[in-house]
Structure 1
Amino acid sequence: MCWLIFRRKLSTQDRIHVWNMASGSMNLMCCLLCKKGMDSHNHLFFECSYSNQIWCSLRSKFGMTHIQGKWDDIATWLIPRATSKSARIVIAKLVMAATAYYIWQERNARYFKNQLRRPEKLEELIVETVRLKLHSFKFKKNDRVTRILKDWKIASAEVMLDD
Protein backbone atom coordinates (compact mmCIF):
# COMPACT_ATOMS: atom_id res chain seq x y z
CA MET A 1 0.00 0.00 0.00
CA CYS A 2 2.74 2.47 0.94
CA TRP A 3 4.60 1.59 -2.24
CA LEU A 4 1.56 2.65 -4.26
CA ILE A 5 1.06 5.80 -2.22
CA PHE A 6 4.69 6.91 -2.54
CA ARG A 7 4.49 6.41 -6.29
CA ARG A 8 1.07 8.09 -6.51
CA LYS A 9 -0.39 5.03 -8.19
CA LEU A 10 -3.67 4.71 -6.27
CA SER A 11 -6.74 4.96 -8.48
CA THR A 12 -7.97 8.31 -7.24
CA GLN A 13 -10.38 10.29 -9.41
CA ASP A 14 -7.68 12.62 -10.72
CA ARG A 15 -5.80 9.60 -12.16
CA ILE A 16 -8.99 7.97 -13.46
CA HIS A 17 -9.93 11.27 -15.10
CA VAL A 18 -6.77 11.09 -17.23
CA TRP A 19 -7.74 7.58 -18.34
CA ASN A 20 -11.30 8.66 -19.13
CA MET A 21 -10.27 11.72 -21.15
CA ALA A 22 -9.30 9.39 -24.00
CA SER A 23 -12.79 7.89 -24.05
CA GLY A 24 -14.56 11.25 -23.77
CA SER A 25 -15.94 10.68 -20.25
CA MET A 26 -15.33 13.70 -18.01
CA ASN A 27 -17.09 12.89 -14.71
CA LEU A 28 -14.97 13.95 -11.72
CA MET A 29 -16.01 13.07 -8.21
CA CYS A 30 -15.57 15.12 -5.11
CA CYS A 31 -13.86 13.63 -2.09
CA LEU A 32 -16.13 11.08 -0.45
CA LEU A 33 -14.62 11.83 2.97
CA CYS A 34 -15.18 15.58 3.22
CA LYS A 35 -17.41 16.30 0.18
CA LYS A 36 -15.33 19.41 -0.60
CA GLY A 37 -12.21 18.80 -2.67
CA MET A 38 -11.60 16.60 -5.67
CA ASP A 39 -10.67 12.98 -4.98
CA SER A 40 -6.92 13.18 -5.54
CA HIS A 41 -3.77 11.81 -3.94
CA ASN A 42 -2.77 15.13 -2.37
CA HIS A 43 -6.26 15.84 -1.14
CA LEU A 44 -6.73 12.39 0.34
CA PHE A 45 -3.31 12.38 2.11
CA PHE A 46 -3.94 14.73 4.16
CA GLU A 47 -5.44 17.93 2.79
CA CYS A 48 -8.98 16.57 3.22
CA SER A 49 -10.50 17.82 6.48
CA TYR A 50 -11.54 14.26 7.44
CA SER A 51 -8.13 12.67 6.90
CA ASN A 52 -6.28 15.71 8.25
CA GLN A 53 -8.29 15.53 11.47
CA ILE A 54 -7.17 11.92 11.93
CA TRP A 55 -3.51 12.61 11.05
CA CYS A 56 -3.28 15.71 13.28
CA SER A 57 -4.88 13.92 16.21
CA LEU A 58 -2.55 10.93 15.94
CA ARG A 59 0.61 12.95 15.43
CA SER A 60 -0.15 15.12 18.45
CA LYS A 61 -0.97 12.10 20.65
CA PHE A 62 2.32 10.42 19.86
CA GLY A 63 4.79 13.31 19.75
CA MET A 64 4.99 13.70 15.98
CA THR A 65 3.82 17.31 15.74
CA HIS A 66 7.01 18.20 13.86
CA ILE A 67 5.77 16.10 10.91
CA GLN A 68 3.51 18.34 8.85
CA GLY A 69 0.13 17.32 7.46
CA LYS A 70 0.74 17.15 3.72
CA TRP A 71 1.98 14.02 1.98
CA ASP A 72 5.02 15.69 0.45
CA ASP A 73 6.08 16.96 3.89
CA ILE A 74 5.58 13.50 5.40
CA ALA A 75 7.58 11.87 2.60
CA THR A 76 10.35 14.47 2.93
CA TRP A 77 10.63 13.67 6.65
CA LEU A 78 10.23 9.91 6.25
CA ILE A 79 12.49 8.99 3.33
CA PRO A 80 15.82 9.86 5.03
CA ARG A 81 14.68 7.86 8.07
CA ALA A 82 13.33 4.85 6.17
CA THR A 83 15.96 2.43 7.45
CA SER A 84 16.10 3.71 11.03
CA LYS A 85 15.47 1.15 13.76
CA SER A 86 14.87 3.77 16.45
CA ALA A 87 11.67 2.92 18.33
CA ARG A 88 10.35 6.46 17.85
CA ILE A 89 10.97 6.38 14.07
CA VAL A 90 9.60 2.84 13.66
CA ILE A 91 6.42 3.89 15.45
CA ALA A 92 6.13 7.05 13.33
CA LYS A 93 6.43 4.93 10.17
CA LEU A 94 3.80 2.50 11.47
CA VAL A 95 1.41 5.32 12.36
CA MET A 96 1.85 6.92 8.94
CA ALA A 97 1.37 3.63 7.09
CA ALA A 98 -1.66 2.60 9.15
CA THR A 99 -3.24 6.04 8.78
CA ALA A 100 -2.78 6.02 5.01
CA TYR A 101 -4.13 2.45 4.81
CA TYR A 102 -7.27 3.18 6.84
CA ILE A 103 -7.94 6.45 5.02
CA TRP A 104 -7.80 4.59 1.70
CA GLN A 105 -9.94 1.79 3.11
CA GLU A 106 -12.51 4.32 4.33
CA ARG A 107 -12.56 6.07 0.97
CA ASN A 108 -13.17 2.73 -0.76
CA ALA A 109 -15.83 1.66 1.74
CA ARG A 110 -17.71 4.86 0.98
CA TYR A 111 -17.18 4.52 -2.76
CA PHE A 112 -18.07 0.85 -3.17
CA LYS A 113 -20.29 0.01 -0.18
CA ASN A 114 -21.72 3.36 0.97
CA GLN A 115 -20.40 2.65 4.49
CA LEU A 116 -19.27 5.56 6.66
CA ARG A 117 -17.22 5.67 9.85
CA ARG A 118 -16.45 8.64 12.04
CA PRO A 119 -12.83 9.85 12.19
CA GLU A 120 -12.60 8.80 15.84
CA LYS A 121 -13.35 5.20 14.85
CA LEU A 122 -10.49 5.21 12.35
CA GLU A 123 -8.18 6.68 14.99
CA GLU A 124 -9.06 3.78 17.32
CA LEU A 125 -8.41 1.23 14.55
CA ILE A 126 -5.07 2.83 13.67
CA VAL A 127 -3.88 2.91 17.28
CA GLU A 128 -4.95 -0.69 17.86
CA THR A 129 -3.26 -1.83 14.63
CA VAL A 130 0.01 -0.13 15.60
CA ARG A 131 -0.21 -1.51 19.15
CA LEU A 132 -0.68 -5.04 17.83
CA LYS A 133 2.27 -4.65 15.46
CA LEU A 134 4.47 -3.31 18.27
CA HIS A 135 3.88 -6.54 20.21
CA SER A 136 5.89 -8.40 17.58
CA PHE A 137 8.96 -6.15 17.72
CA LYS A 138 12.14 -6.49 19.70
CA PHE A 139 13.42 -3.26 21.19
CA LYS A 140 16.53 -2.59 23.21
CA LYS A 141 15.56 -2.08 26.79
CA ASN A 142 16.16 1.51 27.90
CA ASP A 143 14.25 4.32 29.58
CA ARG A 144 13.15 5.94 26.31
CA VAL A 145 11.72 2.69 24.92
CA THR A 146 10.00 1.96 28.24
CA ARG A 147 8.32 5.41 28.14
CA ILE A 148 7.30 4.96 24.51
CA LEU A 149 5.78 1.55 25.22
CA LYS A 150 3.99 2.98 28.25
CA ASP A 151 2.53 5.73 26.03
CA TRP A 152 1.23 2.97 23.77
CA LYS A 153 -0.15 1.08 26.79
CA ILE A 154 2.16 -1.86 26.21
CA ALA A 155 3.68 -3.35 29.34
CA SER A 156 7.41 -4.02 28.99
CA ALA A 157 6.82 -7.66 29.83
CA GLU A 158 4.49 -7.99 26.83
CA VAL A 159 7.19 -7.01 24.36
CA MET A 160 10.38 -8.95 23.81
CA LEU A 161 13.16 -6.62 24.88
CA ASP A 162 16.83 -7.15 24.12
CA ASP A 163 19.33 -6.23 26.82
Structure 2
Amino acid sequence: MGLSIESDKCVLCGVEAEIRDHLFFDCDFVRELWGDILTLCDVTHRVSYGDRELAWIVHCFKGKSLLVRVIKLAWAGHAYDIWKERNSRLFGGKTRLVGNVLKDIKETIQIRLKGWTINNVDPRNDSLCVK
Protein backbone atom coordinates (compact mmCIF):
# COMPACT_ATOMS: atom_id res chain seq x y z
CA MET A 1 0.00 0.00 0.00
CA GLY A 2 1.23 3.49 -0.69
CA LEU A 3 0.87 6.45 -2.95
CA SER A 4 1.90 5.94 -6.53
CA ILE A 5 3.25 9.12 -8.12
CA GLU A 6 3.86 9.16 -11.84
CA SER A 7 5.84 12.40 -11.87
CA ASP A 8 7.05 15.02 -9.44
CA LYS A 9 6.68 17.75 -12.08
CA CYS A 10 4.50 20.77 -11.39
CA VAL A 11 1.09 20.26 -13.00
CA LEU A 12 0.83 23.99 -13.74
CA CYS A 13 4.00 24.31 -15.82
CA GLY A 14 5.32 20.75 -16.23
CA VAL A 15 8.91 21.94 -15.88
CA GLU A 16 10.13 21.91 -12.28
CA ALA A 17 9.53 19.57 -9.37
CA GLU A 18 6.42 20.50 -7.45
CA ILE A 19 7.79 21.74 -4.16
CA ARG A 20 6.27 24.50 -2.01
CA ASP A 21 8.45 27.37 -3.23
CA HIS A 22 7.98 26.40 -6.85
CA LEU A 23 4.21 25.91 -6.61
CA PHE A 24 3.47 29.15 -4.78
CA PHE A 25 6.26 31.45 -5.96
CA ASP A 26 8.46 30.23 -8.80
CA CYS A 27 6.18 28.55 -11.33
CA ASP A 28 5.74 30.64 -14.49
CA PHE A 29 1.93 30.24 -14.28
CA VAL A 30 1.94 31.50 -10.68
CA ARG A 31 4.35 34.36 -11.37
CA GLU A 32 2.24 35.52 -14.30
CA LEU A 33 -0.91 35.38 -12.18
CA TRP A 34 0.65 37.35 -9.30
CA GLY A 35 2.12 39.88 -11.76
CA ASP A 36 -1.34 40.37 -13.30
CA ILE A 37 -2.82 40.94 -9.84
CA LEU A 38 -0.19 43.56 -9.02
CA THR A 39 -0.75 45.26 -12.39
CA LEU A 40 -4.48 45.49 -11.69
CA CYS A 41 -3.62 47.12 -8.34
CA ASP A 42 -1.30 49.62 -10.09
CA VAL A 43 1.67 48.23 -8.16
CA THR A 44 4.91 48.39 -10.10
CA HIS A 45 7.07 45.52 -8.95
CA ARG A 46 9.15 42.85 -10.61
CA VAL A 47 7.94 39.59 -9.10
CA SER A 48 10.71 37.86 -7.11
CA TYR A 49 11.27 34.22 -6.31
CA GLY A 50 10.49 32.25 -3.16
CA ASP A 51 10.60 33.83 0.23
CA ARG A 52 11.83 37.15 -1.21
CA GLU A 53 8.40 37.81 -2.68
CA LEU A 54 6.65 36.98 0.56
CA ALA A 55 9.07 39.21 2.49
CA TRP A 56 8.35 42.05 0.03
CA ILE A 57 4.60 41.64 0.54
CA VAL A 58 4.96 41.65 4.33
CA HIS A 59 7.29 44.66 4.26
CA CYS A 60 5.32 46.83 1.81
CA PHE A 61 1.74 46.12 2.70
CA LYS A 62 1.08 47.21 6.26
CA GLY A 63 -1.81 49.33 7.42
CA LYS A 64 -5.47 49.53 6.61
CA SER A 65 -5.63 51.35 3.28
CA LEU A 66 -7.81 49.93 0.54
CA LEU A 67 -4.73 48.89 -1.42
CA VAL A 68 -3.35 46.94 1.55
CA ARG A 69 -6.71 45.23 2.09
CA VAL A 70 -6.98 44.34 -1.59
CA ILE A 71 -3.40 43.00 -1.73
CA LYS A 72 -4.00 40.86 1.36
CA LEU A 73 -7.24 39.50 -0.09
CA ALA A 74 -5.52 38.96 -3.45
CA TRP A 75 -2.62 37.07 -1.84
CA ALA A 76 -5.00 34.77 0.03
CA GLY A 77 -7.08 34.25 -3.12
CA HIS A 78 -3.92 33.70 -5.13
CA ALA A 79 -2.74 30.89 -2.85
CA TYR A 80 -6.20 29.33 -2.66
CA ASP A 81 -6.82 29.46 -6.41
CA ILE A 82 -3.37 28.07 -7.20
CA TRP A 83 -4.15 25.06 -5.03
CA LYS A 84 -7.61 24.75 -6.58
CA GLU A 85 -6.18 24.92 -10.10
CA ARG A 86 -3.50 22.36 -9.24
CA ASN A 87 -6.07 19.93 -7.89
CA SER A 88 -8.44 20.54 -10.80
CA ARG A 89 -5.68 19.66 -13.25
CA LEU A 90 -4.37 16.73 -11.23
CA PHE A 91 -7.64 15.09 -10.23
CA GLY A 92 -10.19 16.47 -12.68
CA GLY A 93 -8.17 16.86 -15.87
CA LYS A 94 -9.48 20.43 -16.23
CA THR A 95 -7.11 23.24 -17.16
CA ARG A 96 -7.80 26.97 -17.02
CA LEU A 97 -5.82 29.90 -18.35
CA VAL A 98 -4.25 32.48 -16.04
CA GLY A 99 -6.96 34.98 -17.04
CA ASN A 100 -9.74 32.68 -15.84
CA VAL A 101 -8.04 32.12 -12.48
CA LEU A 102 -7.52 35.88 -12.19
CA LYS A 103 -11.22 36.43 -12.86
CA ASP A 104 -12.10 34.14 -9.94
CA ILE A 105 -9.73 36.03 -7.63
CA LYS A 106 -11.22 39.37 -8.69
CA GLU A 107 -14.76 38.10 -8.04
CA THR A 108 -13.76 36.85 -4.58
CA ILE A 109 -12.22 40.23 -3.71
CA GLN A 110 -15.32 42.06 -4.95
CA ILE A 111 -17.54 39.89 -2.76
CA ARG A 112 -15.30 40.40 0.27
CA LEU A 113 -15.27 44.18 -0.21
CA LYS A 114 -19.05 44.50 -0.41
CA GLY A 115 -20.29 46.54 2.51
CA TRP A 116 -16.90 48.09 3.28
CA THR A 117 -16.73 51.87 3.46
CA ILE A 118 -14.41 53.00 0.70
CA ASN A 119 -13.11 56.55 0.27
CA ASN A 120 -13.74 57.09 -3.45
CA VAL A 121 -12.37 60.64 -3.26
CA ASP A 122 -8.89 59.11 -3.31
CA PRO A 123 -8.18 58.49 -7.02
CA ARG A 124 -6.16 55.35 -6.23
CA ASN A 125 -9.12 53.84 -4.38
CA ASP A 126 -11.40 54.74 -7.27
CA SER A 127 -9.01 53.10 -9.73
CA LEU A 128 -8.82 49.94 -7.59
CA CYS A 129 -12.60 49.71 -7.44
CA VAL A 130 -12.93 50.07 -11.20
CA LYS A 131 -10.33 47.39 -11.90
TM (norm. structure 2) is 0.81
Alignment partner, residue 125 of structure 2: 148
1:58 to 37, 52, 56: 37
Alignment partner, residue 102 of structure 2: 123
Aligned residues: 129
Aligned-residue offset at 1:69: 3.6
From the superposition, tell whether residues 115 and 142 of structure 1 become closer, same or farther in structure 2 (CA, over 3 Å).
closer
Residue 84 (structure 1) aligned with residue 33 (structure 2):
no
Aligned-residue offset at 1:83: 5.8
Residue 34 (structure 1) aligned with residue 18 (structure 2):
no
Contact 1:33 1:48 in 2 (8 A): yes
Amino acid paired to 1:100 = A
Amino acid paired to 1:143 = V
The whole-number CA distance in structure 1 between the counterparts of 2:114 and 2:50 is: 28
From the superposition, tell whether residues 67 and 77 of structure 1 become closer, same or farther in structure 2 (CA, over 3 Å).
farther
Deviations 1:58-82 (A, max 9, x none): 2122122336343412321233567
RMSD (Å) for aligned C-alpha atoms: 2.6
Deviations 1:106-132 (A, max 9, x none): 001111111111111001111111122
Contact 1:46 1:71 in 2 (8 A): yes
Residue 74 (structure 1) aligned with residue 53 (structure 2):
yes
The whole-number CA distance in structure 1 between the counterparts of 2:46 and 2:74 is: 12
Contact 1:56 1:69 in 2 (8 A): no
Contact 1:67 1:77 in 2 (8 A): no
The whole-number CA distance in structure 1 between the counterparts of 2:44 and 2:91 is: 33
Higher normalized contact order (CA 8 Å, seq sep 6+, divided by chain length): 2
Q: Which runs of 4+ in 1 moved over 6 A?
A: none
The whole-number CA distance in structure 2 between the counterparts of 1:113 and 1:153 is: 34
Aligned-residue offset at 1:91: 1.0
| 3-state SS of 1:85 partner | coil
Residue 97 (structure 1) aligned with residue 76 (structure 2):
yes
Alignment partner, residue 9 of structure 1: none
| 3-state SS of 1:97 partner | helix
Deviations 1:27-67 (A, max 9, x none): 65100001101111111122111111111112122122336
